Amino acid sequence: MFDDLLHRVFAEPLTEHLPHRVLPLSVDPPRELNILLDEEYSQIAALLQPGRRAGHDARARIRTLLAMESHVDPEARVSKKDVERVARGMRDGESRSRVFPRLDEIATAIEGAGVTLKVHFTKNQWAAVRYVSDEDVPAAAVREVDLQRTFHRSASELAHALGLTMPRARALKDHLGIDDDPACKNDFVFMSQRHTCYSDKAFARMRAAIQELDMEAIWNAHKSSGHTAVRPPCPLDGCSRAA
């Protein structure tokens, strides 16, 4: 009726005053990612029920959820062992947050509306990452971390890279508390031997201190401590920790 009146009185069609598309792109608005993940988890659990004979399809969908965790840890790798661990946990009736703990760290960010709608994955800042060392503890994926690659500098190599003598390097480490920072120092124990190695973070902190602080004053303040022992290079191979 409005179109008819507008056309008869003003000789204008109603279509000139309305957008060409007046229907939504979808009758279902974008939902939260955790809701979609819960639905997918429930469907996979149903496929794993006894008598369904849909284990192959269920494992394929499990791999998809495990692959999504690469948004949290790009270096994580999905193996057959990971898939079987998840399938076993789902058969036992465990919750999604326990079987897929890292999926709680993924969220979606939605921008715009209509044809400009964009959805991309983001990382939640509040979700915790669970570290385990026991393979019997349920986990979505296990990442082997080679500690020797992280802590690859012996005390003498660290001093040499900084252009310092061993006593002066020790004084600087004491001043900065390098040996008290687990991200800077790690002790490798092999039988009765203990080898102390340092990371690139220790090197970066000490190099910055040399440029910003008075090294001579640090040396004068700490040289009386007498820490001049030289540790041998770390000879171990394959020192790793499961995370």
Structure confidence by residue, pLDDT tens digits, 175-193 = 999 999 988 999 888 888 8
Q: Answer for the pair 231, 140: CB distance below 8 angstroms, yes or no.
A: no
CA–CA dist 124, 202 (Å, integer) = 29
pLDDT confidence band for 119 (50 / 70 / 90): low
**Pair (62, 41) in one structural domain:** yes
Of 80, 109, 142, the domain-final residue: 142
- Asked if residue 42 and residue 134 are part of one domain, the reply reads yes
**Token pair belonging to 47:** 């496929």
- For residues 153 and 168, membership in a common domain is answered with yes
Tell me, yes or no, whether 17 lies in a domain: no
The domain tally of the chain equals 2
Looking at every residue in the chain, the average pLDDT score rounds to: 77
Q: Tens digit of pLDDT for each residue in 190-211? A: 888 888 999 999 999 999 999 9
The pLDDT value given to residue 201: 92
Considering the domain boundaries, does residue 233 fall inside one? yes
The amino acid sitting at 239 is C
- The yes-or-no verdict on residue 138 having pLDDT over 50 is yes
pLDDT at 230 over 80: no
> Is there a single domain that holds both residue 106 and residue 202?
no
Q: Is the predicted pLDDT of residue 71 greater than 80, yes or no?
A: no
Q: Do 138 and 182 have their domain in common?
A: no
Q: Are 212 and 229 spatial neighbours (Cβ–Cβ below 8 Å)? A: no
Q: Is 80 contained in some domain? A: yes
Residue 196: which domain range? 148-242
Same domain, 37 and 94: yes
Query: Residue 1 — pLDDT band, cuts 50, 70, 90?
Result: confident
State yes or no: pLDDT of 232 exceeds 50: no
Domain presence at residue 156: yes
Q: Which residue, 182, 186, 181, 183, is CA-closest to 197?
A: 186
- 118 and 168 within one domain: no
- Residue 228 above 60 pLDDT? no
For the segment 5-21, the average pLDDT, to the nearest whole number, is 81
Claim to verify: residue 225 and residue 135 sit in the same structural domain: no
Give the end of a domain, one of 118, 142, 166: 142
3-state secondary structure of 223: helix
